[in-house]
Amino acid sequence: MYTRSFPFGGSRMPRLFLLFSLSLCFAFWSCSSLTEEITDLREGDERVQHEIQVTQTPNTPDAAARAGQLGGPVMMQAFYWDVPAGGTWWEHVESKVSAWSAAGITSIWLPPVNKTMNGPFSMGYDPFDFYDFGEFDQQGSVETRFGSRQELESLIGSAHQEGLEVIADIVLNHNSGGNAEFNPFTGTETFTSYVPASGKFFRSYLDFHPNDMRHADEGVFGGFPDLSHVKPYVQDWLWKRPDAVAKYYKEVMGFDGWRFDYVKGFGAWVVRDWVNEVGGFSVGELWDGNAQSLEDWVNATSQTSSAFDFACYYLMEQAFDQNNLNALSGDMLWKRNPMKAVTFVANHDTDEIWRKNLAYAYILTHEGYPCIFYSDYEEWLDKERLDNLLWIRGHLAFGNTSILYVDQDEYIARRNGGPGMLVYINNADFWQERWVRTNWANTEIKDYTGHSSWQPFTQGDQWVKIQVPPRSYSIWAPVGF
């Protein structure tokens, strides 16, 4: 499951190991079902009324407060797998934060920042010293792959000046790089002796599974020593004591939130207790395409954490690459709990969706907290098109969501806040047109993507005909925004 995929074809190589405060301005919505009238274009441009069951997330009192603000937050995953080694990445990302902020990005997610077993070569998912940010000569280098502590602190400071939150990638399931020691619980030698140069969080076989308190927890990754979170000593160093990892990262280094790696490997209570101790936005990597499983995990954290919406991810792959937009009617975390869903099109571990223009049009116009992948934005896709979607999200994407129409090739949804908008996605090889009901009567509307030159007026009963180009999307709202 943990693979790295190449965007333009080629082989997918398995990973060797999991080499992986502004408050959110979301309204809180829960999913419900209602009947929405739609119309279908028939011969002679005749409108014939139908009824279908569609999904809508109802308004709450918080929605009014949100209506006067820009659209919800957008995260940039500010790295990809095997970014250039040599200690230059923090400086590179710092050079981007001003432009990202201006485009509508509100937070950046950094790779793990601490020294690892593989020192200057590691992507950070094999943690050794949680307090070495590129300042101690150990594990083959002083700097990490990404740079020095000073460069990291400069990046965080610049991001904050641009109004960006900075999300730390936290690897708590396993450690790597310890020395061998005799382990009485296994009767063998294990690599569980950790003597970090920072002088903080020394570990031994007592701090891993099996130990005197517990034989195992929810999961082991790659055969690495499995950290035991039930041990009071481990809890103290991770989040409880004044210089615990969580508090040091937040209060000293300046991180605003957390991305928790491989949360299948330990109890959701760990994330809950961490966030309850130090606060900040949190999202867990629960690699599971079942929306119920994702919601269950969020609930198990006592709603302290969001989760990446893998259910949405896999359904988008079916919709856009397997030519079946009906998949977008499926169950997703954002439909169940949009305030706790982080939607995405690709990341450093998985890159399966090929028609990304449609996928980004989907997540950037719908509820949830969308995450843009660095390589998509900076290298592979049309940045101007993505910036246009970011503008649309920031100025038009408000309120709850109604799915107005969906079939194999067409998908139309409406955001119901002010000003609101219509998003029309077309997976066919030809232009499409359809009558839909809007929230606007006798109002001139236009396509804010520029894909269509139409500027129709809605009728007194709020109906209007809109169009969309082949293999593309259009996004409609009243003229003047």
How many other β-carbons are positioned within 10 Å of the β-carbon of residue 267? 15
pLDDT at 92: 98
Residues facing 107 on adjacent strands: 75, 165
* Successive 10-residue mean pLDDT values, the chain, 481 residues: 30 31 33 32 30 32 30 93 98 98 98 97 97 98 98 98 98 97 98 98 98 95 95 98 98 98 98 98 98 98 98 98 97 98 98 97 98 98 98 95 98 94 98 98 98 98 98 97 84
Q: Are 249 and 282 in contact (CB under 8 A)?
A: no
pLDDT at 360: 98
How many other β-carbons are positioned within 10 Å of the β-carbon of residue 327? 18
236 marked among binding-site residues:
yes
- Which value, in Å, is the radius of gyration of the alpha carbons in the chain? 24
Domain spans, the chain: 3-25+71-396, 29-68+398-481
173 marked among binding-site residues:
yes
pLDDT at 479: 97
Please provide the DSSP assignment of 20-74 as one string: --PPP-PPP---EEEEEEEEEE-GGG-EEEEEEEEEEPPP-HHHHHHHTSPPPP-
Instruction: Catalogue the active-site residues.
Output: 261, 285
Query: Token match 């989760």: residue?
Result: 307
pLDDT at 72: 85
Fold (topology level) of 3-25+71-396: TIM Barrel (3.20.20)
pLDDT at 71: 61
Q: Does domain 29-68+398-481 have CATH number 3.40.710.10?
A: no
CA 472 distance to own-chain centroid: 23
Give the ranges where 162-267 is alpha helix by DSSP (H). Answer: 232-235, 245-247
